[in-house]
């Protein structure tokens, strides 16, 4: 069972201020749940946060597995406290998720061998 679930209606890939941001969100409002990955454009550590900047950490992602339901993000045990003690986050992606294919391709490239599926 997942500690946190985000039911993504929107996905996005944005390059800004020398970083690439890949996000999955339930809505467009500031209070809507989301999962966000960020990395410098030239490569480097990946920042991950879920629903609030205070619930994030650099190098928090141990692995990401893509299935027919979406993503399962496993948080490294040493970083769980920074992500609200969550160890597993589900991002539900369906046919209604806008821009999902682009975001998944970018995430696969960002995470390399940590991305499965």
Over the stretch 61-91, which tens digit does the pLDDT of each residue have? 999 999 999 999 999 999 999 999 999 999 9
DSSP for 53-109 reads TTSEEET-EEEEEEETTEEEEEEPGGGGGGGTT-SEEEEEEEEEEETHHHHHHHHHH
C-alpha 32/C-alpha 108 separation (Å) is 24
Over the stretch 86-113, which tens digit does the pLDDT of each residue have? 999 999 999 999 999 999 999 999 999 9
Q: pLDDT band for 1, please (50, 70, 90 cuts).
A: low
Over the stretch 18-55, which tens digit does the pLDDT of each residue have? 999 999 999 988 899 999 999 999 999 999 999 999 99
Q: pLDDT band for 2, please (50, 70, 90 cuts).
A: confident
Question: What are the residue boundaries of the structural domains of the chain, listed by start?
Answer: 4-116
User: Which one has a higher pLDDT value, 58 or 2?
Assistant: 58
pTM for this predicted structure: 0.95
Q: Which residue has the tokens 């992606």?
A: 93
C-alpha 28/C-alpha 40 separation (Å) is 24
């Amino acid at each position: 069972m997942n500690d946190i679930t985000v039911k993504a209606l929107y996905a996005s890939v944005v390059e800004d201020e020398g970083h690439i941001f890949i996000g999955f969100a339930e809505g467009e409002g500031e209070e809507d749940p989301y999962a966000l990955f960020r990395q410098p454009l030239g490569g480097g550590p990946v920042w991950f946060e879920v629903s609030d900047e205070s619930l994030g950490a650099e190098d928090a992602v141990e692995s990401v597995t893509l299935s027919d339901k979406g993503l399962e993000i496993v948080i490294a045990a040493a970083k769980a406290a920074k992500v609200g003690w969550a160890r597993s986050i589900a991002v539900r992606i369906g046919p209604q998720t806008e821009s999902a294919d682009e975001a998944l391709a970018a995430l696969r490239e960002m995470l390399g061998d940590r991305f499965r599926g």
